[in-house]
Amino acid sequence: MKLIEYQGKELFRRAGIPTPQGVHVTTAAEAKAYVERNPGSWVLKSQVMMGGRGKAGGIKFADTAANTESLATELIGKVLKNEQNPDGEAVRSLLIEEKVAIASEAYASITIDRSTKKPVVIVTAQGGMDVEEVAARDPGALAKAWIDPAIGFQPYVARQLAFAAKLPSGYLKSFPKILGALYDVFMTYGANLVEINPLVLTESGQVIASDAKVELDDNALYKHPDVAAWRSDGPADEDQAAAVAIGLGISNYAKLDGNIGVIANGAGLGMGTMDAIRNAGGSAANFLDIGGGAQAELVKKSYQLVTSDPKVKAMFINIFGGITRGDQVAQGIVDALKGGDVREVPLVVRLTGTNEKEGRAILAAAGMHPVETMDEGARRAVDVASSGAAR
Ligand code: GDP
Ligand code: MN
């Protein structure tokens, strides 16, 4: 999930990275009102995912409320285009930020280096332009450091990078704290990329993040539901929103056309379960992967989510215990059913692997009897879905 600048800056601020004072607005009236209350020089920044907004005409400067209003009116709704984004991207909101007097523009980013399997920090004194351009033209201008996650980010690494990149001396005092905070954002939110370009040294000697580019790993979004909810249009669709709402990853649940609900652990087993249902002459109402190590509570919520679809006439829970423990899954099933707040449908369970015996005992105590194999489970599920037989 890519964050828009104002969202990335919110994470920066939470970690203690200085950002310009400002406000996020969706209308020209709000922009005007803000500048009326806070006279001064302001930058109007189009909030779009694409980079190179400056060159695309998406960044304007205003000194008065009237000027702010007319520029905001011009920008909101405008489609910004450049070579990388020939189709363009419509501006839906603006960040109004204090205009700072820039003495110097640097660049700092952290990504994962897949070959060393470590976060790599990249710093250059040539900020404000595309880092790929700098890399192509003047590779020696990029200073890099690989971080051992077991040790974490150490301030001396920031000092080494600042010297290697020949950052102006005005950066040195605050640079270790800012890079350390950037590393915190990277780790805390499970980012693939955090980038400050430009990291500005102001005429008055402050160092602030003038821009923010943050890309989060979708698989880490469950850790921060408040951030997951920032997805640019809300989650891309209802299924993704439903998955995130119960603590699953956005790609762990998808509604389908059939009438047999599916809960499996692992995407591969989920697909295999759907195939087994198809081989048995039926069709799945959904794909749901509860992931590894699912606890009873998540099983219960998954059960509720799947049965909330009125098409579902039977449920097939197919668990291959590895990290996931059979007793936890069984407990989740029992809890879901005794809660009374779920729609009961005929249920078929296949439970094998870790803590299988304990899981079967829990189910047996509740009057349920798991099947032995996936194919047998699929056949039973197809059967009961058409006949409405009980578990
Ligand atoms: P991007 O082009 O989409 O990466 O947007 P940026 O936020 O990086 O802004 C592009 C450029 O606009 C910066 O490199 C600066 O040169 C300029 N700019 C942005 N904010 C300010 C500001 O507060 N003061 C001044 N003087 N220039 C700014
Ligand atoms: Mn930028």
Q: What is the pLDDT of residue 375?
A: 97
Q: What are the distances in angstroms from CA 144 to CA 15, 63, 141, 197, 214?
A: 22, 39, 10, 16, 19
Q: Is 356 a catalytic residue?
A: no
Q: What is the pLDDT of residue 292?
A: 78
Q: How far is the CA of 259 from the centre of ligand 2 (A)?
A: 49
Mean pLDDT of 223-228: 90
- Which of 192, 177, 175, 179 is CA-nearest to residue 119? 192
Q: Which residue has its alpha carbon closest to ligand 1 atom 15? A: 128
Quote the tokens at residue 363: 């189910």
CA 198 to chain centroid, in Å, comes to 23
The mean pLDDT value of the chain amounts to 92
Confidence band of 388 (pLDDT split at 50, 70, 90): low
Say whether pLDDT at 238 is over 90: no
Q: What is the pLDDT of residue 365?
A: 93
Higher pLDDT, 385 or 342: 385
Q: What is the pLDDT of residue 232?
A: 57
Instruction: For residue 216, give the DSSP letter.
Output: E
Q: How far is the CA of 102 from the centre of ligand 2 (A)?
A: 14
Any residues with Cβ below 6 Å from ligand 1, and which? 43, 45, 51-54, 59, 99-100, 102, 105, 128, 197-198, 210-211
Pocket test for ligand 1, best of 19, 41, 53, 210 (most atoms within 8 A of CB): 210
Q: How far is the CA of 25 from the centre of ligand 1 (A)?
A: 18
How many CB atoms neighbour CB 323 within 10 A? 12
One-letter amino acid identity for 229? A
Residue the block writes with tokens 């450049």: 82
Rounded Cα distance between 312 and 343, Å, is 10
Q: What is the pLDDT of residue 234?
A: 44
Confidence band of 235 (pLDDT split at 50, 70, 90): very low
Q: Give the list of residues 6+ apart from residue 310 with CB closer than 8 angstroms, or none.
A: none
Q: How far is the CA of 210 from the centre of ligand 1 (A)?
A: 7
Q: Which residue has its alpha carbon closest to ligand 1 atom 17? A: 54
Ligand 1 atom with minimal separation from the 20 CA: 23
Ligand 1 atom with minimal separation from the 105 CA: 14
Residue 358's H or E segment, with its range, is helix 356-365
Q: What is the pLDDT of residue 159?
A: 98
Segment among 118-127, 195-204, 252-261, 320-329 with least mean pLDDT: 320-329
- Which of 76, 78, 81 is CA-nearest to residue 93? 76
Q: What is the pLDDT of residue 390?
A: 47
Span 270-315, pLDDT tens digits: 999 999 999 999 999 999 999 877 788 888 899 999 999 999 999 9
Span 99-153, pLDDT tens digits: 999 999 999 999 999 999 999 999 999 999 889 999 999 999 999 999 999 999 9
Considering the candidates 34, 107, 183, 189, report the single residue annotated as catalytic: 107
- Which of 77, 73, 54 is CA-nearest to residue 65? 73
Higher pLDDT, 250 or 214: 214
Ligand 1 atom with minimal separation from the 51 CA: 3
Span 342-382, pLDDT tens digits: 788 999 999 999 999 999 999 999 988 899 999 999 999 99
For the full predicted model, state whether its pTM sits above 0.85.
no
Q: How far is the CA of 135 from the centre of ligand 1 (A)?
A: 20
Considering the candidates 10, 89, 105, 195, report the single residue annotated as catalytic: 195
Quote the tokens at residue 19: 């950002």
Mean pLDDT of 325-340: 86
Ligand 1 atom with minimal separation from the 53 CA: 3
Say whether pLDDT at 341 is over 80: no
Q: What is the pLDDT of residue 237?
A: 64
Q: What is the pLDDT of residue 378?
A: 97
- Which of 140, 199, 188, 222 is CA-nearest to residue 20? 199
Q: Is 6 a catalytic residue?
A: no
**Are 335 and 302 in contact, with CB atoms under 8 Å apart?**
no
